[in-house]
Amino acid sequence: MRADPATEAAWRLFSIRLVVAAALLMVGVLTLALAVDPYDTGRPRLLARDGVRPQGPRTAAASRGRDPAFTAAIIGNSHIQLVAPANLRAATGIPFVQLSVPGTGPGEQLLVADYFLRHHPRAQALVIAADSFWCTGDPALPPAQPFPTWLLAEDWATYLRGLLRLRVMDETVNRIGWAMQATPRRATPDGYWDYEPNYLTLGDPDMPERIAARSRPAPGDPDPGQGGPDFPAAARLRALVERLPSDTALVLVFPPVFAPTQARPGTPRAAAARACRAALTAAVAPRGRVVDWSGDRPELHEPRLFFDASHYRKPLARLLEAEIAAALRDAGAGGADAPRP
């Protein structure tokens, strides 16, 4: 039984109109998001408000990473998060921004570094923290958690595709409301995020059972995929170093790890960790300075300086900052008359 020609024509017209309406809606939504610039990427925008409303560093990094008020950056994850950019500035005279993003690995962190350097071609300094995640053997350097790579993309096509997300639409509306306020509350411009209050809400970190939990010895074998002999992140780091301006100081940091959880000498895990650090150190040679807190230091045996095996507390962060500042001065950053702690 054939359908009535008039009915077929009506459905065909309806389908065309539906497709056209959907296309127009998509274009309209995309145009609004592009104009509003919900994450302050500096792309064409109608709302001339610097910064973003309070939010996580995954999305705030786009705004902070292009801020001309800063000429140096700290790159990493929560293992370098407690290093305060204001303290490095006080010690060196260099305005630092904290661009660490918790839960990220070398792939995302190198992307953040690229983004910062793209917006700061004459950056004064770069501090990069390389933890055990940098020892992966996967050349793709895949993210362990979702990460908005599109937000930091250089090409327009990737950025525009990224705007077509429901959460971006939500943030577009949020930004409009935020920007219309007379004095909107802004996410911390220098990116510092003190994680200590978060840990303290979990209870007393120095209870015997919690100290025992963070003192469990590491296994003898390396984690899956981290045994070497190849460490692709080192090659990617070397490529970044080769693109750095000659007067940009570089410091590679191996963050503190609680001594009881470090790889035991003589084990395959210790050999793999040593090979990884050697590859990363070679990647920044000869210009990069290295601050290594991954080994055996007295402070690393003190349980009250840690919340868990790899998240340390402020007294240890202050010591780490002092060594980073010294390495920067040794590299000629900040000048000979830079303030000293």
Q: Given pLDDT bands bounded at 50, 70 and 90, which one contains residue 29?
A: low
Distance CA 80, CA 289 (A): 16
Segment 240-256, tens digit of pLDDT: 999 999 999 999 999 99
| Six token digits for residue 126 | 């770069």
- pLDDT category, 162, cuts 50, 70, 90? very high
Axis-axis angle for helices 156-163, 5-36 (nearest 10): 110
Q: What's the average model confidence in pLDDT over 18-23?
A: 70
Instruction: Give the pLDDT of residue 340.
Output: 46
Segment among 30-44, 77-91, 284-298 with least mean pLDDT: 30-44
Q: Which amino acid is at 265?
A: P
For the chain, the helix, strand and coil percentages under 3-state DSSP, each to the nearest 5: 45, 5, 45
Give mean pLDDT, residues 270-277.
96
For residue 338, the model assigns a pLDDT of 53
Instruction: Please give the DSSP secondary-structure letter assigned to residue 198.
Output: H
pLDDT at 334: 73
pLDDT level of residue 341 (50, 70, 90 thresholds): very low
Looking at residue 135, its pLDDT comes to 97
Q: Grade residue 205 by pLDDT with cuts at 50, 70 and 90.
A: confident
Which of 51-55, 292-296, 331-335 has the least mean pLDDT? Answer: 331-335
Least confident window among 37-51, 124-138, 262-276, 311-325: 37-51
Q: Across-strand partners of 128?
A: 75, 252
Average pLDDT estimate for 294-316: 94
* pLDDT above 90: residue 43: no
Proportion of the chain above pLDDT 70, given as a percent: 93
pLDDT of residue 86: 98
**Whole-angstrom Cα distance, residue 279 to residue 230?**
9
Q: Is the pLDDT of residue 40 over 70?
A: yes
Q: Does 301 score more than 60 pLDDT?
A: yes
CA distance 309 to 256: 9
In this model, does residue 33 exceed pLDDT 90?
Answer: no
C-alpha span between 61 and 138 (Å, rounded): 25
What average pLDDT score do residues 171-194 get?
Answer: 92
Mean pLDDT across the chain, nearest whole number?
A: 91
Among 84-98, 151-165, 210-224, the least confident range: 210-224
- Which tops the pLDDT comparison, 108 or 15? 108
Taking only the tens place, the pLDDT of each residue in 121-145 is: 999 999 999 999 999 999 999 998 9
8 A C-beta contact, residue 105 and residue 136: yes
pTM for this structure?
0.89
5 or 269: which carries more pLDDT confidence? 269
| Cβ contact 218:224 at 8 Å | no
> Residue 45: phi, psi to the nearest 5?
-150, 155
Query: Rounded to an integer, what distance in angstroms lies between the CA atom of residue 209 and that of residue 245?
Result: 49
**How confident is the model at residue 336, as a pLDDT?**
47
Structure tokens at 143: 């993210």
- The closest alpha carbon to 326, from 290, 299, 283, 280, belongs to 290
